[in-house]
Structure formats: structure tokens, C-alpha cells
Amino acid sequence: MSEINLYLEHTNLKPVITDKDIDKLVAEAKEFKLFGICVPTFWLKRAKREIGDADISLVTVIGFPLGYQLTETRLEEIKHAIAMGADELDLVMNISAFKSGMEWFKIDIAKAAKCCHEQQKILKVIIETAYLTDEEIVKASRAAADAGADFIKTSTGLAPAGATPEHIKLIKQNIPSSTGIKASGGIKTLADVKAMIDAGADRIGTSSSVAIMKDYLSF
């Protein structure tokens, strides 16, 4: 296992997030040498400015939090986010289309992947496990990976439940080894982080990074 800090994407996607919260998020990421920060698209420019030349990846969310925007809208959001400095894009899967049995959800992901990869950026697809059966988790994960997703991400953090080790293991067993997994939603302690990594997670999205790192560094 690598150092815990290299897994953490320090996240704040609260509706009431302010400029001061963005500055604090970046400062904490620098202090604890975290992998990256995840912020709303509106704050990308400020976050990019505050990061400066620090080795911190800038992550944002697309189609957040419900995922049922038109593909054209989502692609424009991706393009603007990249222009503002985003390194990685976390796209909410069109769960509505998926639940309706439409293959469009996979085409939507493929178009997003193409848009990201043309600019050498990373695409993560949020499948929102809280709304899916195990069978649907397998289907969605396989389809997203096949459509070009670089990572499968479990949750937005706004659904009734977040990541579980069981779901991480299930996803891990059903996607190529070249596709990563980001666990997010409800991860608040060092024990939570370790459980997710042991289950197969490559990244951890959490708003509790500081508490986790303080606990980690106390050992």
C-alpha cells in the first residue's frame, strides 16, 4: 500500500461552499501532500490559482449530482472545466437512462471519454451504487470501462448511501485491471480508508482528509 495521502482527493461539494472554503481546501491539500482536491466547476479557476505549481491534481464533477443532463450539455461542461484547469473529470452516469434499459448511457460515457482523452485528461464515471442492485453495479461498471472510463467511482456523496468494501470488491472483480476505482461517499475515518484500499480502491474521495491524515500520522 502506498502512503495514504497519495490516495486522497480532498473534497468539498457542499451547496454553501465559499471562496474561503476553496482556499482552505487547497491549503490543507498542500499541508498534507494529498493527491488532489475535488471542487465544483464554478470554483475551478480559483482553485487552480491557489494550487499554483504544487503537485496537486484538480478534480471536478460533471452532470452533478443526478446525471440526467443532455449529453451535449455535459460535453460543454467538460470542455469548460478543462479550459479552467481541471485535470480529472468525475461524470455522473445517466442513471435515468440506465434504469430505463437504454444503451444511451454507454454512448454518453464514450463521448465524454473521447472529449477528456483528446485533452489528455482523466475521466471517472460515478455509477451511484446506492441506487443499483449488485447486478446493475456489475453491468454499469463493465459498460463504463468498455466505453473508456479511466476510473469507476462509487458515489456522489449525496445519495442515501456511499461506498462499501463489498461494492468495491464487486467492481474490482468485473472491470479490467487497467481501470481504476474511486471510493467515495461516507468515508470519514482512517479505518474506512484502509478498508476501501484493501477491497481494491485506487483513490479515495473524502471531505474528512485532514482528520484521516492526522490519525494516520499519529502512528
Ranges of beta strands (E only) in the chain are 8-11, 36-39, 57-62, 88-92, 122-126, 151-153, 180-184, 203-206
Give the span between the Cα atoms of 81 and 43, in whole angstroms.
10
Q: How far from each other are the two terminal CA atoms of the chain, in whole angstroms? A: 16
Phi, psi for residue 61 in degrees, rounded to 5: -110, 145
Distance of CA 188 to the CA centre of its chain: 16
- The active-site residue, picked from 108, 124, 182, 192, is 182
Question: Is 90 known to be catalytic?
Answer: yes
- The active-site residue, picked from 87, 90, 150, 192, is 90
Give the span between the Cα atoms of 40 and 32, in whole angstroms.
21
- Spatial neighbors of 108 by CB under 8 A, at least 6 apart, are 71, 74, 93, 94, 97
Question: Is 153 known to be catalytic?
Answer: yes
- The active-site residue, picked from 106, 124, 153, 172, is 153
Most distant CA atoms of the chain, gap in Å: 49
Catalytic residue numbers read 90, 153, 182
